[in-house]
Structure 1
Amino acid sequence: MHRSAPATPEKAHAPAPRIRLARVLACAAVPVMLVAVGCSSGSGGGAKKSDSPSSSASAGGGKQASSSPSLAPAKFTKLPDACPSISAKSIDKYVPKAKTKAGEVGKTSDPQSQASCTWNGLEDKGVDGSNYRWLDIDFKRYDSTPGLGSGDSLAQKQFDRAVSGAKSTGDAKNVKTSPVSGLGDQATAITFDLKKDDANFRYGVVVVRTANAVIAVDYNGTGYEGADAPAAGDVQDGATAVAKEAVAAVATANNK
């Protein structure tokens, strides 16, 4: 699901903002962390990973843990709708001038096992340049499955894969990893820089496990025409804030 970075807008005699926006958003920034764990959504999307929650469930007959006394039942039995899980206020804050404020829903064959949504936008600030932002959120849920393990243990494996994938992003510079306290059962933040088509992108990735669900948030951006890329602290804070909303949305969906 690799997507190439947006083309750099022309420096002189720049076209009208709407034209520049169309050109830049035609090739959005790559949510590389989700490449590593095999997930995709948004422009230029690819296929979902074969090792998906739904495929794990089918391997064990798709039965809940209640059929096996040796496995504890999974805490969460469904996922929220991915796009509405993040508030419009947060989208306004973290993806100004979002191309589609409601988000672009990722394709899935089993929305109760995996769901995703993507937002991207270019904020034209005139002589101060333009700010491009990309936000991708991915949910995965695992059932307790005889022969495979509990929902929590399967989610733990996915959490480890996602963190490892983000940390090993190809050509990434200044990779930093830190735990995030008070978020789900465990959470890790990864920040790094990545250069694409002469633009310096800065990424903030937060991966969270809450019981048998895993949430991966990829928030990244760059600046054009004199604007700077966002600070590492800003993308990490943005990804963390979005992840908190997503964790709350999972709990709410299962309390209905």
Structure 2
Amino acid sequence: MLITAACSSDSGDSKDKGSGAQQSATAGSSKSPSASASPTVQAAAYGKLPGPCAVLSKKTLTDLVPKAKSGKTGSSDAPATRGSCSWSSLDNNGVKGSQFRWLNVSLLRFDSDATRGAGDKQAHAYFTQQVKDAQNVDGAKNAKVLPVSGVGAEATLVRYDLTKKEGAFKQQTMVARVENVVVTLDYNGAGLAGEKTPDADGLSKDAQRAAKEAVAAVTAANGEGSARSSSSKAPASPSASASKAPSKSASASPSSSASPSKSATKKN
């Protein structure tokens, strides 16, 4: 009887241990995948930006800002992620007045991030905000918002009239996205001291041509054939650090640099 009891006790104990070990192994194996899994996001297509003052050809600059000597880079430029350049042109015709032109190009690149999402989605969100900001200008009249094809993955032109003490200004803002980069181009013109007000349609065509050239420069800077299809337009919110600081650079530069008229947009 003693021997039998001892054998029974050993047998039961081994079953309990085996069952416990199996349960422990099962629980461990079921938790491991979830514990080790981490979100992944597609790498951004473009990893660099061209110099902002070099995105437009000499011919284009001569056509748009004929009296500009050189471009002025933005004070908050960070070559890998953002940059801006502006040109100011004043064609003085003496007693007949003067023709004023001002041009600004801003570039902003978004990196993919597990928290903020894919770079192109962040860029799309910023693109949408830039178009909205361009429409909210104090004193703007006869505003038009026009989608533009053939310039990056998506592009929109916002144009309006703005009256200042110096004269009547025609403002054109082109916003375009190519992959994970947003190009914002501001171009305005005015006839000062009695000179004829420039044709808005002509300025619009010039702005679109310049924006297309700037987008091509972004693509070229990242290597021929490196661009991938970027048709995704699903909204995504950029992080505070990625969206707020760049928008200040893009909107503040025009208003402070459009000397002598200070005619560029002032965002609300």
TM-score under structure 1 length normalisation: 0.70
Name 2:173's counterpart in structure 1. 205
Asked if the contact 1:95/1:133 (under 8 Å) is kept, the reply is yes
Does 2:211 align with 1:243? Answer: yes
Whose helix proportion is higher, 1 or 2? 2
Name 1:86's counterpart in structure 2. 56
Does 2:64 align with 1:72? Answer: no
Work out which of the residue numbers 225, 228, 231 in structure 1 matches 2:193. Answer: 225
Does 2:123 align with 1:165? Answer: no
Code of the residue aligned with 1:162 in structure 2: it is Q
Code of the residue aligned with 2:216 in structure 1: it is A
Offset of 1:198 from its aligned partner?
4.5
Name 2:237's counterpart in structure 1. none
Gaps of 5+ in 2: 1-37, 225-268
Offset of 1:210 from its aligned partner?
0.4
Asked if the contact 1:190/1:236 (under 8 Å) is kept, the reply is no
Does 2:120 align with 1:133? Answer: no
Offset of 1:206 from its aligned partner?
0.5
Decide which structure has the larger Cα Rg and report it.
2
Offset of 1:109 from its aligned partner?
5.0
Secondary structure of 2:111 counterpart: coil
- CA RMSD between the two structures: 1.5
Name 1:145's counterpart in structure 2. 113
Q: Percent of counterpart pairs with the same letter?
A: 40
Name 1:193's counterpart in structure 2. 161
Q: Distance in 2 between matches of 1:226 and 1:111?
A: 41
Deviation string for 1:56-89 (max 9, x for gaps)? xxxxxxxxxxxx7631110100000000111111
Asked if the contact 2:162/2:170 (under 8 Å) is kept, the reply is yes
Offset of 1:108 from its aligned partner?
2.7
Does 2:172 align with 1:174? Answer: no
Does 2:74 align with 1:106? Answer: yes
Q: Distance in 2 between matches of 1:237 and 1:116?
A: 21
Offset of 1:124 from its aligned partner?
1.6
Asked if the contact 1:184/1:210 (under 8 Å) is kept, the reply is yes
Code of the residue aligned with 1:201 in structure 2: it is F
Deviation string for 1:198-217 (max 9, x for gaps)? 41111011000001000000
Q: Distance in 1 between matches of 2:192 and 2:218?
A: 36
Name 1:118's counterpart in structure 2. 86
Q: Distance in 2 between matches of 1:164 and 1:245?
A: 23
**Relative to structure 2, which stretch is displaced further, 138-147 or 83-92?**
83-92
Gaps of 5+ in 1: 1-67
Structure 1 consecutive aligned stretches of length 4 or more whose deviation exceeds 3 Å: none
Asked if the contact 2:167/2:193 (under 8 Å) is kept, the reply is no
Name 1:16's counterpart in structure 2. none
Q: Distance in 2 between matches of 1:174 and 1:232?
A: 11
Given the superposition, is the C-alpha separation of residues 132 and 245 from structure 1 closer, same or farther in structure 2, using an over 3 Å criterion? same
Secondary structure of 2:156 counterpart: strand
Deviation string for 1:136-159 (max 9, x for gaps)? 000000000111010001001110
Code of the residue aligned with 1:157 in structure 2: it is A
